Amino acid sequence: MTKLAVFASGSGSNFEAIASAIENGELDASISLVVCDRPGAKVEKRAEAFGIPVLSFYPKSYESKADFETFILQQLNEAGIEWIMLAGYMRLIGPTLLQGFEGRIVNIHPSLLPSFPGKDAIGQAFEAGVKLTGVTVHFVDEGMDTGKIIEQDYVRIDENDTKENLGRKIQAVEHVLYPAVIRSLLQEKIKR
């Protein structure tokens, strides 16, 4: 069974969607480790509920990104992790992890990339007044949400949507799309 690590900084609803898909037998994989760069984030509690170990760390207690990524890489290798799934990990991945997991790091982003990369993509789309936005799952490279697109799905922005309920609509799509894309990746239906 393929061993995944999920990296998250916040709520962890996408982590939970992946973990639930595994539990329901929809995804033949295991999440062997959750990596969290914000100790105390809600994702820790969610991981605990699934009995999944969490590696939480304070980036600021390391001298550099290379230092903490070297530590993480070591832990991932020890745990036999094959893929890294970013799910709300609010930090650019550096050369250490990119080289260690070349072609095996994936991210989910709440817009139709290349529109609205970076922070608050939902707010950016809402403010821009576009009628369609959505969700992108993509491979991770050194840029900010710039890696090769794997799959997308759209969400319509209606007249009476608020930013908050747009967020809920986007998350509902994410929770279906991410596990489905991971399944295809692990079945090698997607070319890297």
Measure the CA dihedral 112/115/120/125, to 10°.
-80
**Backbone region of residue 39 per phi and psi (left: phi > 0; alpha: psi in -120 to 50; beta: other values):** beta
Residue 108 sits in the site that holds ligand GRF (CB under 6 A): yes
Q: Is there a binding annotation on residue 129?
A: no
Residue 88 sits in the site that holds ligand GRF (CB under 6 A): yes
For residues 161 and 42, what is the distance between their CA atoms, to the nearest angstrom? 26
Closest residue to ligand GRF: CB criterion: 88
* Residues 109-138 as x/- pattern, contact with ligand GRF by CB under 6 A: xx----------------------------
Q: Is there a binding annotation on residue 184?
A: no
Catalytic residue, from 109, 138, 169, 175: name it. 109
Residue 19 sits in the site that holds ligand GRF (CB under 6 A): no
Contact assessment for residue 18 and residue 46, using Cβ atoms and an 8 Å cutoff: no
Expressed in angstroms, the distance from the first to the final Cα of the chain is 20
- Annotated active-site residue 109? The verdict is yes
Contact assessment for residue 122 and residue 170, using Cβ atoms and an 8 Å cutoff: yes
Binding site for ligand GRF (CB under 6 A): 8, 10-14, 87-88, 108-110, 174
| Residues annotated in a binding site | 12-14, 65, 90-93, 107
Give the catalytic positions in this structure: 109
